[in-house]
Structure 1
Amino acid sequence: MKMTPKKELEIRDIRQRLNGSLHASLQERDGAIKIRLKDYPNLTLQELADEIEMSGHSITNISETYLTLN
């Protein structure tokens, strides 16, 4: 059985978080979602942004610690 690299696990986690909870969170938080960058230390900012955009969401703000999206 092949081990999954940590980066792939983090990408899978961000996909699950986006697909599983963003729609509910968007309604609860009036459209603003923040993802803390340090929760994904093995992913670059670009990799996170790509995953978010591939899931159909758009990034509205990038700070040193958070990505804000809707």
Structure 2
Amino acid sequence: MTRLKLSDIEDEKPVKLTIEISARLHRRLEEYAVVLNAGQRQGAPEATQLIGPMLDRFIASDRAFARLRSQS
């Protein structure tokens, strides 16, 4: 089984955010959603549902950010 960095998607009240991403990145997000859903397209999360948790995981794992944040 593949170990992905994104494991679950929390169900929180969303804040609307509009961004533009490349078509290539959108395709990759869709592919990631399928892999996250055990290779099944049916029932895979929407690409838009992945962006928030991915950013959250990225920020949480950024050691330099955590160090600078604790200094302020």
TM over 0.5: no
Q: Which has the higher strand share?
A: 1
Q: RCO greater where, 1 or 2, for CA within 8 Å and sep 6 or more?
A: 1
TM-score by length of 1: 0.32
